[in-house]
Structures are given as structure tokens and as C-alpha cells.
Amino acid sequence: MIEATDVRFSYASKIEALKGVTLTVKDGEFLAIMGQNGAGKSTFVKHFNGLLKPTSGKVIVDGVETTKTSVASLARNVGFVFQNPDHQLFSETVEEEIAFALKNFGFAADVIEKRVTWALELLSLAQYRKTSPFLLSGGERKRVALASVLAWNPQTLILDEPTIGQDHEQKEKLTQFILQMQAQGKTVVIVTHDVEFVAECNPRVVLMKEGKIVAEGMGKDILTNPQILAESSIVLPQIAQVFSKLSALGFPKNVIDIYEAEKIILNAVGSKQR
């Protein structure tokens, strides 16, 4: 469990990036943090594994205050996948890249071998085991970065902009993958701009603006509220836009799921035909 209480944070440049953020992320929860550029999303999640320490307020991860421990020991339970894979890839082979963190955490050699194989297969990278990560495509590099974090099987997974540069198929896979993590009781926190992706997964949504949380609730309620979204320069998901226009005809407004939308429309068409 991650508990942030009245977190304030200023960079060396004296700009206050977080102005009192309070949020609890429960175990097994799926949370999306959204908001425009410079809202403080990335700054905030960097507090979850101690990369940044609050200027005031506190962050408690599994009962331990982040200021009282090291990033390495927090990282064991909180995996953080950065936005740009090129900021972390450095090994000669994909295999070594994935083993890097496992070596840092002091896993035994045979365990490392097993974990690497497991992570490679999970993200369909097995054929690249001996390839240099620098020779892979952008989407593949992103998957290697993800695999290198998943390998040590952290309880909480933070993904910073996971959908950027991914094609539709990869996004689908990512959705599947997150749902799978969910089923295993893992906590997943994503930082994203991608409304369609969030609409598809329907997590709890936290909306940030200028270093503060401005709204939170289920995706279905937040992503269908044009006033709240406009404030954060986020456009409604396409399905929500359609239903918002149809609401004059008596359709419900808060629909973001394709299947739910289909059902409602079929029902309406069916009742007309009858």
C-alpha cells in the first residue's frame, strides 16, 4: 500500500511541482494518473519508489516512510518503468539487460536464469534473447524495458506513459497484460495521456493539474465529465463523445466501454423495431 499525505515537492529551481497531494493506492488496485504536461504526474509517482523525497509531507510505502530507506530497497517492491527505454538500455544482449536488476537485488544465478526466461516469454521477446537491445525497434525496446522490471516480480508496478510509440496490437497486449497482473493481485499505477487506453481498461482515475489532484473516481465517471476534463485539457473518449451527443435522446451519458455501448445501442434499435 502506498500512502501519500500532503506531499509537497520543489525542484532545485524553486518551482513547486507538487502542492500538497494526498492519495492512497491500495494493494491490488489499478490506478491511472492523468493530466496535462507539467501537471506533476511524473514527479508524483517518482515519490513512490523514493527517487524523489517530499519537501514536506510524507510518503509511506508498505509501512515504511520513503525518507528512511534507500531507493534500491523500495524498488524491490515497487517496479518503475520509465517512459523512454533509451534511458535505461545499456547491455550487450537483451538477456543481460533483463538480468541487470536481478543481479543488483542479489538473486542466485539459477533463479536469475529462470526469471529472465520467464520475463522474455511473458513479453514475447524470447527470440531476441541474444540480440543487442540497440538493434530492436522502438516498441520492442519498450518491451525489453518492461521485461527488465517485471523480471523481479515487484508487488507494485508503475508505468510512465506505457502506450507512447506503441501500435494498436501492442496496446491491446498491454491491456491484457495489466489485467493479468490485476488477477494476480498486483498493484498497477499508470501515468498517461491516452484517454482511449484508459477508457478501455477502466481503472480508478486521478486527475492532476498544476501540482494538485483536481478529481478522482472511476474512469467511467471521470472520463465522461466534460467540465472536469476540459479543465485538464483532456478530450472525452470517442464513445463518451457519441453518448454525450445522444443524451438528448435519452441515452445515458456515462458510457466509455465498447461492449456496454454496443448493448445499449442494440437495445435501443431493437425496441424501435418492435
Partner 1 sequence: MSVFDGLKFRKVYSPIHNLDPRVKFIYVISIFAVAIIFAQIIPLLFLFVLQVPFVLLARVQRQWLRSLRGAAFLAAVIFAVNVGSSFFYAGYKIAPPAVESALALTLRFVVLVESSSVFFLTTSPDHLGLALEESHVPYEFAFAFTTAVRFVPVLAEEAQTIMDAQKARGLELEKGGLMKRIRNYIPVLIPLIVSAIRRSLELAEAMESRAWGATKKRTNLYSLKLHKGDYALLAITIGILIAAVYIRLYVPIPTIVHLL
Enclosing H/E stretch for 17: strand 16-25
Is the separation of the CB atoms in 199 and 256 below 8 Å?
yes
The smaller minimum CB distance to partner 1, of residues 79 and 219, is found at: 79
Shortest CB 165 distance to partner 1, Å: 14
Q: How many CA atoms lie within 13 A of 180 on its CB side?
A: 9
Q: Is residue 11 at the binding interface for partner 1, with CB under 8 A as the rule?
A: no
Residues 24-53, interacting with partner 1 (CB under 8 A): 46, 49, 51
The smaller minimum CB distance to partner 1, of residues 84 and 117, is found at: 84
Residues 123-142, interacting with partner 1 (CB under 8 A): 134
The smaller minimum CB distance to partner 1, of residues 128 and 152, is found at: 152
C-alpha closest to that of 205 among 194, 218, 192: 218
Three-point CA angle 74, 205, 148, nearest 5°: 35
Question: Which one of 67, 104, 124, 180 is in contact with partner 1 (CB under 8 A)?
Answer: 104
- Give the amino acid at 269: V
Question: Which one of 14, 63, 87, 259 is in contact with partner 1 (CB under 8 A)?
Answer: 87
Is the separation of the CB atoms in 96 and 151 below 8 Å?
no
Q: Is residue 4 at the binding interface for partner 1, with CB under 8 A as the rule?
A: no
Shortest CB 90 distance to partner 1, Å: 4
Shortest CB 270 distance to partner 1, Å: 52
Per-residue CA distances from 111 to 80, 89, 93, 106 (Å): 21, 22, 18, 10
Residues 168-227, interacting with partner 1 (CB under 8 A): none
As given in the structure block, the three cell numbers for residue 241 are 463523445
Q: Is residue 80 at the binding interface for partner 1, with CB under 8 A as the rule?
A: yes
DSSP 3-state assignment of 44?
A: helix
- Any idea what DSSP says for residue 236? P
The smaller minimum CB distance to partner 1, of residues 18 and 222, is found at: 18
C-alpha closest to that of 74 among 47, 56, 100, 96: 47
Per-residue interface string for the shown chain with partner 1, residues 152-171, x marking contact by CB under 8 A: x-------------------
What residues make contact with partner 1 under the rule CB under 8 A?
Answer: 46, 49, 51, 70-72, 75-76, 79-80, 82, 84, 86-90, 100-101, 104-105, 134, 148-149, 152
